[in-house]
Structure 1
Amino acid sequence: MGSKYTKRYTAEFKRDAIALVDSTGKPVTAVARELGISSESLRGWYRQARADRGEGAPGELTTAEREELKRLRRQNAEQARTIEILKKATAESTG
């Protein structure tokens, strides 16, 4: 995760920054400099927005797909823990 010093931006701010890149045709680094934010942050937001619009690179996940992947990974880890508990319980009861 990010450090406690990581600046958080609202979804509206991110949307506006992305729209500024689209509408002005300026490079991401120039827009980021004007807004006083990290060019890497804006570049990531812009890349994700393009993926969400279906304009991303092949294989790039949309926000919805990323959320689904996170949910499935959590579910998988939970099921793995349950299986491990059941294996131990079975071993104790038969041994």
Structure 2
Amino acid sequence: MAHKKSRRHSAEFREAAAREVVDKSRPVDDVARDCGVTGQTIRNWVREFRAGHDTTDPELSGDERARLRELERRVRELEEENRFLGKSVAFFAKKHR
């Protein structure tokens, strides 16, 4: 029995999801959850994207690229903390009315 590849998602959708991982350094599992697909599916899309695009940034050294990824990770953490604090403030403000 021949295996037919499912193409439920458009090429644009797959590329946008792959760019979230490659360009924005978002974790695969987060992107997968947002897109409603499995982590392996996102990894496959990232592999296809990298095969068709030059994803190296010649202007950044390895150390600079690692530092950029670390800073992007820290920004994500701070954004998550801010969302949590905003929800907490709203909860306590509502509770004390």
Q: Name the TM tier (shorter chain).
A: 0.3 to 0.5
TM-score by length of structure 1 reads 0.46
